[in-house]
């Protein structure tokens, strides 16, 4: 049986097309590999800088939120109090409105300046009722969005005085808010509180060496400013101390300010100033004005902070800081200057000096005349006393025995001395004329002896 051998590969049109397609694909792959090989090796040696167009995508920064602050004169009469409000970070030249709540009352409005800041001082309405109130600002922030913020809260006490009030707090007792003074002359000491909104200003107010109280409160030192006056009651001393809440809790505190003399006597003090609603991260400066501190040139200023007993599991105790200050005692210096000026006029002014010297010379002559007259009177009195004593008790002089036949002499009684006569004064001229000397007498002539006749 004859077998027919068939070829392993058959060449038809479909097979040829398939083979051609495979060869074409393989050739293309090989060509691309050969072309990319040198380029890849060169890229391994040195990568050229990419060439293209730089695209800068601007980063839009969100402007910071506005900062607000207010100065509430705690302790001042509500009917005459002046409240200062400062807001910054608004849209430049944008319109703002300031409202007083709880019943909304528009108390100020206007436009911010070119930096987006406005500062306004308002007088509280005289009809402001007793209770808690707040100041709210409505404006446009730097991003052009509406902005509403509560600036500050305060309270009006039953005696119509301002007191601090924290968020949600009730009325604070007026005696605590206003403080008390002990200078005894009826002077009204006062205090103000300022929240520092600028970081640099807050750091400067706190000072370089703040004291850390429990790690939740920083307390700055006592700063002093003096205002001397010529009043006998003395000038005014302004004390301030700054605190910063570094905890996450809002709490209330109080402060005491007082001044002592170098003898440790309390001159004046202002106690129990309420520091209410100190928020987390807030830096607040409390300032006390103490008038009529007397004429002490050197004084010691004290400030005591009374924080809560505990904040965030940290036990807190009162802290007192003090510093030495001085002030010119103008009244005492004026009195001293007047005394020195008067003495200099009396001592060295020519007219007053001549008059004084002449008067002193007359007084000196009169004193010498009186002293001479007194000496003469004393001498005469001594003489009279001696004569009386001699007459009353004669002096007996004991003599030694003499031989018989000799008669002893009688005791000699001293004669009363003669008082010299004062020279006669000239009646008309009032001068003393010297006594005319007595002319000497001529000697007597001796008669000649008579001759006797016998002798002749």
Q: How far apart are CA 69 and CA 85, in angstroms?
A: 6
- With tokens 């205090």, the residue in question is 191
Which residue blocks in 207-251 are alpha helix, DSSP H? Answer: none
Query: Strands (DSSP E) along 5-94, which ranges?
Result: 67-72, 82-88
Q: How far apart are CA 207 and CA 51, in angstroms?
A: 56
Burial (CB < 10 A; 0-12, 13-18, 19+), residue 171, is middle
Mean pLDDT of the chain: 75
Output phi, psi for 120, to 5 deg: -140, 145
Query: Which among 174, 384, 404, 402 has a CA at the least distance from the CA of 273?
Result: 174
Chain segment 246-281, per-residue pLDDT in tens: 999 888 889 999 999 989 899 998 888 888 888 889
Chain segment 195-238, per-residue pLDDT in tens: 888 888 889 999 988 999 999 999 999 999 999 988 888 899 99
Residue 318, pLDDT above cutoff 90: yes
Q: How far apart are CA 302 and CA 381, in angstroms?
A: 76
Residue 87, pLDDT above cutoff 60: yes
Q: How far apart are CA 435 and CA 433, in angstroms?
A: 6
Chain segment 5-26, per-residue pLDDT in tens: 444 444 455 556 666 666 666 6
DSSP of 146-194, one letter per residue? EEEEEEEEEEE-TTSBEEE--TT--PPPHHHHH--B-SSS----EEEEE
Confidence of residue 35 (pLDDT cuts 50, 70, 90): very low
Spell out the domains of the chain, with CATH numbers in brackets.
63-175 (2.60.40.2950), 179-328 (2.60.40.10), 333-368 (no CATH)
Confidence of residue 184 (pLDDT cuts 50, 70, 90): very low
Query: Strands (DSSP E) along 223-335, which ranges?
Result: 223-227, 236-245, 251-260, 266-278, 283-290, 298-306, 310-311, 314-315, 319-326
pTM over 0.75: no
């Amino acid at each position: 049986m004859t077998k027919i051998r068939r070829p392993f590969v058959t060449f038809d049109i479909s097979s040829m097309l398939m083979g051609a397609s495979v060869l074409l694909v393989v050739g293309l792959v090989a060509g691309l590999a050969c072309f990319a090989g040198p380029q890849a090796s060169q890229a391994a040696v040195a990568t050229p800088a990419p060439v293209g167009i730089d695209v800068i995508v601007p980063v839009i920064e969100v402007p910071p939120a506005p900062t607000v602050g207010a100065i509430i004169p705690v302790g001042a009469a509500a009917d005459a109090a002046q409240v200062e409000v400062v807001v910054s970070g608004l849209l430049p030249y944008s319109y703002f409105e300031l409202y007083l709540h709880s019943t909304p009352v528009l108390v100020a409005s206007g436009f911010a300046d070119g930096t987006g800041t406005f500062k306004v001082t308002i007088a509280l309405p005289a009809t402001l009722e007793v209770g808690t109130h707040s100041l709210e600002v409505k404006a446009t922030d730097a991003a052009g969005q509406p902005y509403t913020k509560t600036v500050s809260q305060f309270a009006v006490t039953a005696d119509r005085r301002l007191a601090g009030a924290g968020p949600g707090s009730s009325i604070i007792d007026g005696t605590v808010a206003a403080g008390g003074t002990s200078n005894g002359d009826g002077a009204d000491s006062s205090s103000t509180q300022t929240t520092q909104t600028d970081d640099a200003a807050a750091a400067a107010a706190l000072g370089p060496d703040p004291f850390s109280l429990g790690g939740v409160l920083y307390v700055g030192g006592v700063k002093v400013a003096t205002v001397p006056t010529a009043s006998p009651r003395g000038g005014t001393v302004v004390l301030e101390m700054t605190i910063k809440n570094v905890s996450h809790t809002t709490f209330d505190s109080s402060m005491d300010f007082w001044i002592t003399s170098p003898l440790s006597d309390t001159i004046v003090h202002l106690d129990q100033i309420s520091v209410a609603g100190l928020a987390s991260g807030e830096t607040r400066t409390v300032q006390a004005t103490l008038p009529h501190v007397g004429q002490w040139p050197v004084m010691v200023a004290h400030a005591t902070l009374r924080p809560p007993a505990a904040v965030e599991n940290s036990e807190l105790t009162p802290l007192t800081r003090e510093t030495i200050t001085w002030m010119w005692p103008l009244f005492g210096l004026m009195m001293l200057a007047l005394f020195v000026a008067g003495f200099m006029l009396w001592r060295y002014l020519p007219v007053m000096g001549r008059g004084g010297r002449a008067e002193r010379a007359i007084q000196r002559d009169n004193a010498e005349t009186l002293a001479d007259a007194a000496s003469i009177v004393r001498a005469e009195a001594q003489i009279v006393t001696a004569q009386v004593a001699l007459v009353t008790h004669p002096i007996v002089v004991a003599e030694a025995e003499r031989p018989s036949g000799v008669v002893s002499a009688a005791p000699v009684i001293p004669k009363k001395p003669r008082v010299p006569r004062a020279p006669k004064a000239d009646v008309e001229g009032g001068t003393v004329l010297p006594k005319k000397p007595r002319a000497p007498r001529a000697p007597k002539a001796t008669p000649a002896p008579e001759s006797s006749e016998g002798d002749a």
